[in-house]
Structure 1
Amino acid sequence: MSAKDQEIAKKVIEGVGGEGNVSSVFHCATRLRFKLKDTAKADKEGLSNTPGVVTVVESGGQFQVVIGNNVPEVFKSMMEQTNLKDAESADKAEESGEKGSWLNRAVDLISSIFSPLLGALAGAGVLKGLVALFVVLGWLTQDSGAYLILNAASDSVFTFLPIFLAITSSRRFKTNTFVSVAIAGALVYPAIAAAQSAGTALNFFGIPIVLVTYTSTVIPVILAVWVQSYVEKFFASFIHQSVKNILVPMCTLLVVVPLTFLAFGPVGNIVSEGLASGYTWLYNLSPIVAGLIAGGFWQVFVIFGVHWGFVPIMLSNLGTIGYDTMLPMLTAPVLAQAGAVLGIFLKTKNRELKALSGSTTVAGIFGITEPAIYGITLKYKQPFILACISGGVGAAIIGAGGGRALSFALPSVLAIPAYVGTGFAMTVIGIVVAFVLSTLLNFAFFKDRVVETPVSAAATSDGQPASARPEEAVSASATESLLKKEVIVSPLEGAVQPLDTLPDPAFSSGAMGQGIVVDPTSGHLTSPAAGTVTTVFPTGHAIGITTDGGAQLLIHVGVNTVRLKGQFFDKKVKEGDRVEAGQLLLEFDLEQIKAAGYVTATPVIVTNSADYLDVLKTTEVSAKNGDYLLTTVV
């Protein structure tokens, strides 16, 4: 351990507000991940300017200090200098210490419960809209078998929503999932639903029960599972181990189900109706103003992660009044971001920016705006503002026209069938206006930036800098005699993307070095060059190689995959091994990692990029193992 590592560790501890401000800390392949008691005590700017610190990122409730490949040495030195303990895993780090403001905790709670369901909810919502459209067009009749089956497929998620929420809530509150499902099943039990529909008066041992409709509800089951988590712990604390697996679930059901019907259900239903009524009241005050605010600020809410708080309101509206006016308005700002990058695509002469803006336009149209926001519009600032303005205008038009969603869907062109009905024409007009206006404004006002690279004597025969035309610079004979190059091949098979598309600012900003991203289609990672393995992270998600030509490469499989703690990764090499280009380094289960909710796009970084004149990148959109990827130029 060097004196330099010790000095960096000392500066980091000072920069995060001292040892007493640290609730927990662990490290991944490139960064120290702190959970701080008070982030205000941390000197983010000072830390960012500290020698040995690449950058500082605040994300996911963590204060992340990016160090680079020598993070294990810095971490070890920090442990020796302090009384801090290794959090050992991301899970422990997330559970320890303060959890932030009430707003952060609320957003985190809502997102953890609803995010696993969004795919099913959105897919079913779009299908429900298509079925309604087919009926309007006369392609289906409501008495046909096809309609019955398709309607069941699209409506089942919403009818039995409490059961789905019971599963995700049980994971959040760490309860027995099957007991949670049993509680939710009681809420939507056919005999209970029939009694409610018939207006039958029921009581529980003389205590009157207020029956409400629980299908499509949100809050009652979440309250029930939250209470279940405490009831289970209570019974588990004294029931003998030999009968615990039987008696704890039985006693929990005996307590929680009646309490839900007597208290949590009616109270939760009142809260749901209150949210829906409150939103409806605000909307009725001025649909145009509501549209301007919703459309203008929706993507700002997305950036700060508080947009999750609106999901229960949308679902509550659908469950209580049968429709929602917020969803159609939110489609306008989503399409406005897509329009912004389309305008840039049409305007820019920069080939990399054109390629990036083209791909993010398509993604944005289908509702995925994060690549457009973080890769382009927010980066250049003005496009983001113009897109927000356009989104506000489009949403105001939709609000004025009374646009409604009859089922839940993620805002995108795919959601349009869910808006068939009242205000449909104005909804389509508002969406088109937001998209076209944003495209035109960005085409008119975007100022194309030409990135200049210092080149000294390295130039092509026509005087162009070698780095200005990568594919020509590599082959130009005049440059051959002046430049020393090393070719790096692809370690994976998959789609090739610019670095700034990665949803991790430590990599996408270039702070870790220049490079490129491969989104893999298979889990075989091979060596991109001949050299020596310098780092193999214990969890297997990241590998560092120093090539024979001196390039220090970091291959980091996915984003935040350190949290998998080595699950789904199988290392084939160890530190110090000599490897050749194409040699198998790692195998990973791509589908399981995706199923666990992780982004698998993999950055291939030249961490010592500052030692090179340039790092040239392939212009291909896909690569196989061994295909050309990068060239380092000295």
Structure 2
Amino acid sequence: MGYQDVARDILTHVGGRENIVSLVHCATRLRFRLKDQKQADAEALKKNPGVIMVVESGGQFQVVIGNHVHDVYNAVRAQAGITDDSVQPTQESSEKVNLLSRLIDIVSAVFTPFIGVMAASGILKGLLALAVVFGWLATDSGTYKLWFAASDSLFYFFPLVLGYTAGKKFGGNPFVTMAIGGALTHPVVMQAFDAASQPGAVTEHFLGLPITFINYSSSVIPIIFAAWVSCWVEKQGNKLLPSAVRNFFTPLFCLAITVPLTFLLIGPAATWLSQMLAHGYQAIYAFAPWLAGAVMGAIWQVCVIFGLHWGMVPLMINNLSVFGHDTLLPLLLPAIMGQVGACLGVFLTTRDARLKVLAGSAVSAGIFGITEPAVYGVTLPNRRPFIFGCVAGAMGGAIVGLSHSSVYSFGFANIFTFAQMIPPGGVDATVWGAVIGTVLALVVSCVLTCVAGSPRAENAVPAAVAVHENDILAPMSGTVLAMNQVPDSTFASGLLGEGAAIIPLTGKVIAPFSGEVASLFQTRHAIGLLSDSGIEVLIHIGIDTVKLNGQHFTTHVTVGDKIKPGDLLIEFDRQAILDAGYDLATPVIISNSDEYKSVTRHSNEHAIDSGMPFLTVSR
């Protein structure tokens, strides 16, 4: 399905353009703020093959897309006619949102627009530290200085960037709030800060009030509060001033009032709050670093599922601003790699071709810190791999906490985080502790999944056990077709395995043996089964019926369910599918037929009743 089709379906099921208050995207998700959440149809969206998952959290309607989120985002904006100025972020949803949800919504909206460059800047800083440690670059070289400037510029001028995005979030003129952020880092202010830091410095005043100069470079909280105040002043000015002059005088009042107020009150108060948060976290971490690591390693992915992880981002950046390093980010790396290891375990053990491809791609994305495809597509649906990933994350996080590992630049937990952990003095035990804890999390989750967590590992037949001749019962009543008569070249060629097909007379699919449900397509048109003796069967209802996106199909089982002959698996509206123009020839394929000597039809009859012997496999 193309990006335009996915975008069209998303737009339809969020309630249309008129229901959208705001739309942003992060690394894998579209984040909608809707006027009326009840108009959105999450269940319908989950059936779209281009959508991994839908999450409603933090006052946002979040559609998890994966690595192609930016392309889908652009397609949605184009189809909805959304521009930077067409969506009014100040409109309120019709639903009441609690304080935590509002906080998460604000944080995600402020940080999401530059999440990519923020991660890239942190990685570049880490790679520069690595280059210095190995002697590849000297800190006084021109090459180092240019790359350092590239990596440090975003964080040094953080108040400008945050001023712009916070202004948009609070519904004001983002260029006014960006100018306020520029005032916080202006050379005149930085010089005044340096002078005020000297012994015997004279206190400067604004209209008789003493000014407290603080280094706001890389700070987070002061500019967000200042942006909120500026947007409030702007709204009042627009109400009171005539339209002929408001475009000039409203920004004038915002700058003239908010900038002094920030230096006199907002900045010192917000800085005090920043330091309280930083020292509060540090006190908890110092009390039991291993416990902090175990807890964060265990619950981080749960926080990601519900969108609560955004609440941690300001804390991590604040730690860097106050202390120059952060101990929270390293604790998250084992949680990330725990899910990667669980996905790797599924990839190594599953015999479901579709799941293997999904798990393999999820491992690649997870290594670079994007775990939504792994969690929503592989580990969470199969339950045990997700639990094993969290357990392994807790074990690895405890080791990282005991090692007192820190990062010295901000980024998002991924394979490059190790470079960001290198302290100014070079690689030490804190770095090796993080490596050991992270590798342990990956290995433990992978091994546990291989042994007891893979959806195909639990009932797989050991190689030493002889498989005798087995019968597969007919899963439906109807007319029998040889596989080469199926009107689809992929099935007819036998590429997917040997078997036969049935043109159904009724709309029911029953279990053809004792075993378990190994896989179930989101569109419900196909199901994979594994018998107790190791036979893999794929039942694909109709040709090209995936395009129905689950319409006319009803499932009665889930992945992992135990089945016995005759159990109802799927019901479908036979006539509705035919009326929609689809062929109902249903291939019944032995997916692992290459493990058997032969796969033959039980009889040459052209008609069969459900539950009767249909196929025979033998060594």
TM-score normalised over the length of structure 1: 0.63
Q: Match for 2:246 among 230, 244, 247?
A: 244
Q: Check 1:555–1:607 CA distance in 2 against 1; reply closer, same or farther (3 A cut).
A: farther
Q: Match for 1:510 among 492, 507, 523?
A: 523
Q: Distance in 2 between matches of 1:328 and 1:153?
A: 23
Q: Check 1:477–1:195 CA distance in 2 against 1; reply closer, same or farther (3 A cut).
A: closer
Shift of 1:96: 2.9
1:11-30 matches, within 5 Å, as 28-30=11-13
Amino acid at match of 1:215: S
Q: Check 1:355–1:608 CA distance in 2 against 1; reply closer, same or farther (3 A cut).
A: farther
Residue 435 in structure 1 maps to residue 442 in structure 2 = yes
Amino acid at match of 1:291: G
Give per-residue Cα distances to partners, 1:54-106, cap 9 Å, x unaligned: xx976364799xxxxxxxxxxxxxxxxxxxxxxxx997997331242211111
Give per-residue Cα distances to partners, 1:383-416, cap 9 Å, x unaligned: 1000000011111111111111000111010222
Amino acid at match of 1:174: G
Q: Match for 1:293 among 283, 292, 295?
A: 295
Shift of 1:248: 1.3
Which residue does 2:273 correspond to in 1?
A: 271
Secondary structure class of the residue paired with 1:59: strand
Shift of 1:136: 1.2
Q: Match for 1:119 among 110, 113, 116?
A: 116
Shift of 1:365: 1.0
Residue 318 in structure 1 maps to residue 301 in structure 2 = no
Q: Match for 2:398 among 396, 399, 405?
A: 396
How many correspondences in the alignment?
A: 454
Amino acid at match of 2:339: Q
Secondary structure class of the residue paired with 1:242: helix
8 A Cα contact 1:162 1:184, kept in partner: yes
8 A Cα contact 2:483 2:491, kept in partner: no
Q: Over alpha carbons, which structure has the higher Rg?
A: 2
8 A Cα contact 1:609 1:615, kept in partner: no
Q: Check 1:101–1:191 CA distance in 2 against 1; reply closer, same or farther (3 A cut).
A: same
8 A Cα contact 1:228 1:252, kept in partner: yes
Unaligned runs of 5+ in 1: 1-25, 49-55, 65-88, 485-500, 502-506, 516-548, 557-604, 620-634
8 A Cα contact 2:329 2:407, kept in partner: yes
Q: Match for 1:175 among 169, 172, 176?
A: 172
Q: Distance in 2 between matches of 1:165 and 1:175?
A: 13
Residue 229 in structure 1 maps to residue 231 in structure 2 = yes
Residue 448 in structure 1 maps to residue 455 in structure 2 = yes
Give aligned-pair identity as a percent. 37
Q: Distance in 2 between matches of 1:197 and 1:302?
A: 41
Q: Check 1:224–1:440 CA distance in 2 against 1; reply closer, same or farther (3 A cut).
A: same
Q: Check 1:389–1:239 CA distance in 2 against 1; reply closer, same or farther (3 A cut).
A: same
Which residue does 1:197 correspond to in 2?
A: 194
Q: Check 1:93–1:162 CA distance in 2 against 1; reply closer, same or farther (3 A cut).
A: closer
Secondary structure class of the residue paired with 2:381: helix
Q: Check 1:326–1:466 CA distance in 2 against 1; reply closer, same or farther (3 A cut).
A: farther
Deviates more, 1:149-158 or 1:471-480: 471-480
Q: Match for 2:367 among 365, 368, 378?
A: 365
Query: For the aligned residues, what is the CA RMSD?
Result: 4.4
Give per-residue Cα distances to partners, 1:38-62, cap 9 Å, x unaligned: 98xx9x99x99xxxxxxx9763647
Amino acid at match of 1:435: L
Q: Match for 2:330 among 328, 338, 350?
A: 328
Q: Distance in 1 between matches of 2:446 and 2:440?
A: 10
Q: Check 1:32–1:156 CA distance in 2 against 1; reply closer, same or farther (3 A cut).
A: closer
Q: Match for 2:353 among 338, 351, 354?
A: 351
8 A Cα contact 1:315 1:408, kept in partner: yes
1:38-187 matches, within 5 Å, as 59=56, 61=59, 95-187=92-184
Q: Check 1:344–1:476 CA distance in 2 against 1; reply closer, same or farther (3 A cut).
A: closer
Q: Distance in 1 between matches of 2:501 and 2:446?
A: 42
Give per-residue Cα distances to partners, 1:556-587, cap 9 Å, x unaligned: 9xxxxxxxxxxxxxxxxxxxxxxxxxxxxxxx
Q: Distance in 2 between matches of 1:433 and 1:608?
A: 52
8 A Cα contact 2:292 2:398, kept in partner: yes
8 A Cα contact 1:36 1:63, kept in partner: no
Unaligned runs of 5+ in 2: 1-8, 20-33, 46-52, 63-85, 461-471, 506-518, 528-542, 551-576, 592-619
Q: Distance in 1 between matches of 2:366 and 2:338?
A: 9
Shift of 1:609: 11
Q: Distance in 1 between matches of 2:55 and 2:205?
A: 52
Amino acid at match of 2:283: W
Give per-residue Cα distances to partners, 1:507-534, cap 9 Å, x unaligned: 98437x679xxxxxxxxxxxxxxxxxxx
Q: Distance in 2 between matches of 1:508 and 1:118?
A: 33
Shift of 1:147: 1.2
Shift of 1:615: 9.0
Secondary structure class of the residue paired with 1:95: coil
8 A Cα contact 1:455 1:466, kept in partner: no
Q: Check 1:610–1:222 CA distance in 2 against 1; reply closer, same or farther (3 A cut).
A: farther
Q: Check 1:612–1:396 CA distance in 2 against 1; reply closer, same or farther (3 A cut).
A: farther
Deviates more, 1:131-140 or 1:453-462: 453-462
1:470-549 matches, within 5 Å, as 470=491, 472=493, 509-510=522-523
8 A Cα contact 1:459 1:466, kept in partner: no
Q: Distance in 2 between matches of 1:98 and 1:143?
A: 56
Q: Check 1:183–1:403 CA distance in 2 against 1; reply closer, same or farther (3 A cut).
A: same
Q: Distance in 2 between matches of 1:107 and 1:359?
A: 29
Shift of 1:258: 0.4
Q: Match for 1:377 among 376, 379, 391?
A: 379
Amino acid at match of 1:510: T
Amino acid at match of 2:452: F
Shift of 1:270: 0.8
8 A Cα contact 1:36 1:62, kept in partner: no
Q: Distance in 2 between matches of 1:607 and 1:616?
A: 23
Secondary structure class of the residue paired with 1:139: coil
Q: Distance in 2 between matches of 1:606 and 1:372?
A: 36
Secondary structure class of the residue paired with 1:29: helix
Secondary structure class of the residue paired with 1:510: coil
Q: Distance in 2 between matches of 1:478 and 1:437?
A: 39
Secondary structure class of the residue paired with 1:141: coil
Shift of 1:243: 2.2
Secondary structure class of the residue paired with 1:224: helix
Q: Distance in 2 between matches of 1:186 and 1:97?
A: 37
8 A Cα contact 2:297 2:332, kept in partner: yes
8 A Cα contact 1:398 1:430, kept in partner: yes
Shift of 1:115: 1.3
Which residue does 2:554 correspond to in 1?
A: none
Amino acid at match of 2:128: V
Q: Distance in 2 between matches of 1:476 and 1:336?
A: 34
Secondary structure class of the residue paired with 1:402: coil
